[in-house]
Each structure stands twice: as structure tokens, then as C-alpha cells.
Amino acid sequence: LRHDQTISLAFGEFQQGPWATALRDFQQGEPLLFGFRPHDVQPADANSPMRFQARVHLTEPLGDITVLDMEAHDNLFRMVLPEDQAIHYRTGDTIELTLDVAHTYVFSASTGTAVR
């Protein structure tokens, strides 16, 4: 957490999320947990405001969707894509991704309590 209510991660900086106002209750540098759901991270396009790169660690086809295990700067997470979109990606590929900050979550690292 920075003094301007920005959350800095190894793969990007986030601000103005649904948790932004509540961050005023935390000290600069206080450890927080940052989360998002696998359906809320997507391959970036030219108009994506926030982008970061991640490597495909594993793909798991499940019929009409595929779960991709991703890694960005030693942070592991999952992304779920429709099958027709996921077939373009293989293990080891690096993908530019985007995440809608409105669909992110922040938790206190010490208590696990959601920041709202």
C-alpha cells in the first residue's frame, strides 16, 4: 500500500477499486492480500487500461471452458476462458492480460478481513 491509496504488486499497480476509500484506515506499507476471480482476468487488447504479463503454467480443458494456471512475477493465479479463446495458448506462452479493478478484492494480511 502506498500513501496515495495505490496497491503496488510485482506485476502492476491498482487504484480506485471498490476498496479504495477503506484503504485510508491502513498504514503505508502495511501488508495486504489482493484477489480476483478467475473469470475477471482476460487477455488484454489495445484498449485495455491496465495490463500485465503472465506466463501460462498449465492448461486444463473442461469442455466449453479452459482453466489456465498463470504465473506473474512468482504470483500464481487462475484464469478461465471460453474454449475457442483458450485454444490459442499453450504452456510456456507469455500473455498480456488485463483485470477490471472494479472486480478486485483486498484483505488485511494480518486478519484476513475484507477491506470494504
> How sure is the predictor about 82, in pLDDT bands with cuts at 50, 70 and 90?
very high
Q: CATH class for domain 7-108?
A: mainly beta
pTM of the model: 0.80
| 3 vs 74 pLDDT, higher one | 74
From residue 86, give the alpha-carbon distance in Å to each of 7, 91, 93.
Answer: 29, 11, 12
Task: State mean pLDDT over 37-44.
Answer: 96
Q: Measured between alpha carbons, how far is 77 from 73 in angstroms, rounded to an integer?
A: 11
Q: Measured between alpha carbons, how far is 102 from 35 in angstroms, rounded to an integer?
A: 11
Instruction: Give the side-chain half-sphere CA count within 13 A for 92.
Output: 0
Is residue 37 pLDDT above 90, yes or no? yes
107 bridge partner residues:
33, 114
Q: What pLDDT, on a 0 to 100 scale, did the predictor assign at position 63?
A: 95
Is residue 3 pLDDT above 60, yes or no? no
